[in-house]
Amino acid sequence: MNKVNVESINKSFGDVKVLSDVSLQIEDRSFTVLLGPSGCGKTTLLRIIAGLERQHTGEVFINEENITKVLPGDRNVAMVFQNYALYPHLTVYKNIEYGLKARKVKNPERREMVEQAISMVKLEDQSKKLPAKMSGGQRQRVALARAIVKRPEIFLMDEPLSNLDAKLRNHMRFELTELYHKLGATFLYVTHDQIEAMSMGTNIVIMDNGVIRQQGTPKSIYEDPDNLFVAGFIGSPAVNVLTLEDITFAIRPEHVSLNGSHDRHIRMDGEIISTEHLGYETVHTVKTATQPIVLKMPANWDNVDRCVTIHLEQEKLKVFDKEGNRIRGSRETADAISLLRQATYNQAEILKRAV
């Protein structure tokens, strides 16, 4: 088993509190992603697990063994950094071999381990090259091979793809996911990129201002947010947010349409003010009486009338209180949606009379 537990972790830098009573369980063989905006504490938490940073209070466990005071080199974890951290004067082979030589692994075994790691990251034809002669994606694969060769219990990755261009990031996401399945290990991966999180993670932990806002599968995070922060952070285009008195409603753009007259849809009249054709889908922004609403639909290259009626799927509306926490009670949710339906109806009637 290769699981990690952190319990009641607190960390400050000077007067700035970076982690506030953070507790987290990372399951064996999961691909867990720490996701959040820059400065939310995710990298600090990763470095505490690696032993590279000291928490003020709290404990870290690997496989139920308390490793809080164990030195980084004795934790049997491997860390992959965003800047590769390769030795520029050593070849690919020697970069990967370096740690094994330091541990005095004998040459025949060492050679077998290095060659296996090189094969796993598909760099057999690059082993004699220096890092300066390689692309960013190749250098990152060398860093991954250097982690693999340690045969750690846990892989810790700190935004390893952030220095790559968009096309290479897409390719490396596939490579990392394939590597994860091959190794059958536990991955803990830090990113601020929700696409990386949703496409690679089996488990996502969303952080904000040093606290965990929600943890769950990509599906549960996307479809069932606990709070308005999570609802707004995940999704592209961003979730639509409507506020009425002390209640806030959120609905995904794909749950707003230009057609349909289902009696459980909430209707709003508006004007299309922008259209983006993205090949596989079309995104419209509609100006309504209260605010712009974004909707996403399958690709539609035909011209659409600028004046439209949009339909919000009532069952897909998420309701939040004035603190931004999810309202989950069926009666409270139904009452809030009835209030929104009445408000949109009243607004439509006012507009009709004005015309």
Range of the domain at 199: 4-223
Domain identity same for 257 and 216: no
Q: What is the mean pLDDT of residues 269-278?
A: 94
Q: What is the CATH number of the domain that holds 122?
A: 3.40.50.300
Give the closest residue to 8 by CA, choosing from 45, 36, 34, 33: 45
Least confident interval from 145-149, 162-166, 212-216, 271-275: 162-166
Residues 211 and 89 in one domain: yes
Tell me the mean pLDDT in the region 195-216.
Answer: 97
**Region 15-35: what's the mean pLDDT?**
97
Spatial CB neighbours of 123, under 8 Å, sequence gap ≥ 6:
92, 138, 141, 142, 145
> Whole-model pTM?
0.91
**Do the bridges between strand 186-191 and strand 31-35 make them parallel or antiparallel, or are there none, so unpaired?**
parallel
Contact assessment for residue 230 and residue 217, using Cβ atoms and an 8 Å cutoff:
no
In a domain, 343, yes or no: yes
**Separation of alpha carbons 131 and 280, rounded Å:** 38
pLDDT of residue 322: 95
Within a 10 A sphere around the Cβ of 14, how many other Cβ atoms? 6
What total of structural domains would you count in the chain?
A: 2
Residue in this structure with the two tokens 């860093």, named with its chain if needed: 143
Q: Do 179 and 254 share a structural domain?
A: no
pLDDT grade, residue 198 (50/70/90)?
very high
What is the domain-level CATH number for residue 338? Answer: 2.40.50.140
- Amino acid, res. 317: L
131: confidence class by pLDDT, cuts 50, 70, 90: very high
Angle between helices 136-148 and 92-102 (to 10 degrees): 20
Residue 228 lies inside a defined structural domain of this protein: no
Residue 101 pLDDT greater than 60, yes or no = yes
Residue 229 lies in a domain: no
Q: What is the pLDDT of residues 241-256, one digit of tens each?
A: 999 989 999 999 999 9
Q: Mean pLDDT, to the nearest integer, of 121-129? A: 93
Residue identified by tokens 């309202």 is: 327
C-alpha separations of 273 from 250, 278, 283, 346, 352 in Å: 21, 17, 11, 23, 21
User: What pLDDT score was predicted for residue 355?
Assistant: 43
| Residue 163 falls inside a structural domain | yes
